[in-house]
Amino acid sequence: MKDIFNKVTEKVSDAKNSVLDSFSLESLSDKFTGMTDAAKEKATTFTNELISLSPILEEMGFKTTGISITMGLPPDVTFQFVKGDDVSPERRRELLELHKDKPMLGTITKMLVTTDEYQDKLKLGSFHFNTIDLCIGLTPGVTLHLLPKA
């Protein structure tokens, strides 16, 4: 039994070291600087396309208050939004139709509207809704920021 335990412990340790080695700062740095020019150009084009959506998203009721760009493997872009004016679903559909050449716009809008509807249902107590962070990357995600009421 002790022999099996030692073998399992050794395998777990080897796996952990392998994972840590692949995520070392030096390894990540090498991978990042080793990106091809084509990959860098693609990441830059993608980021510029996302940034260009901000004025349209503001028309849809979500004002961009900040943009964070993570230069990593993979890169990601995080938008920080505050809820602006209420915009009707009809107006949002009009704007989406007007900008149907921007495929990410529909996805981002759907995520923002869903998150806004979710936060409307929260019982915030002594907190108030502040911002929505929307991360576009390999693992997209949304973060709601709630702050204590003053």
Q: Would you mind telling me the total number of residues written for the chain in this entry?
A: 150
The DSSP string of 40-57 is HHHHHHHHHHHHTTHHHH
Query: Per the domain annotation, does 109 fall within a domain?
Result: yes
Query: Per the domain annotation, does 113 fall within a domain?
Result: yes
Are the CB atoms for 51 and 35 separated by under 8 Å? no
Domain carrying residue 82: 53-148
> Rounded to whole angstroms, how far apart are CA atoms 27 and 31?
6
Query: Per the domain annotation, does 84 fall within a domain?
Result: yes
Per-residue pLDDT tens digits for 24-55: 556 555 555 666 677 777 778 878 888 899 99
The highest-confidence range among 6-15, 98-107, 134-143, by mean pLDDT, is: 98-107
Q: How many domains is the chain built from? A: 1
Mean confidence (pLDDT) of the chain: 80
Of 95, 96, 99, 135, nearest in space to 115 by CA: 135
Query: Per the domain annotation, does 117 fall within a domain?
Result: yes
Per-residue pLDDT tens digits for 82-105: 988 889 999 999 999 999 999 889
